Amino acid sequence: GTHIICDRKFLLECKNSPVARTPPCCLPQTPGVTSLALSSLVKLEELKEQNESKEAMPDQDQFEMDI
């Protein structure tokens, strides 16, 4: 048999390859496995809206003080 021997440096370089970062073209869409689940997408949208609403509110003092 033939053994293919790869050194550590080569394998680490392959990790950053553009080909390694793109999914296969014929991969089936499975929610929660190959794509985000629908509930996860809804949660992400809710979190995004919450963050935007927090940023939109001006900073207010927690208590008013009478001097």
**Distance between first and last Cα of the chain:** 88
The pTM assigned to this predicted structure is 0.32
The C-alpha angle 29, 19, 34, rounded to 5 degrees, equals 15
Confidence label for 27 from pLDDT (cuts 50, 70 and 90): confident
Neighbour-count burial for 11-37, b at 16+ CB within 10 Å, e otherwise: eeeeeeeeeeeeeeeeeeeeeeeeeee
Contact 28, 20 (CB under 8 A): no
Q: What is the pLDDT of residues 41-56, one digit of tens each?
A: 677 777 788 777 666 5
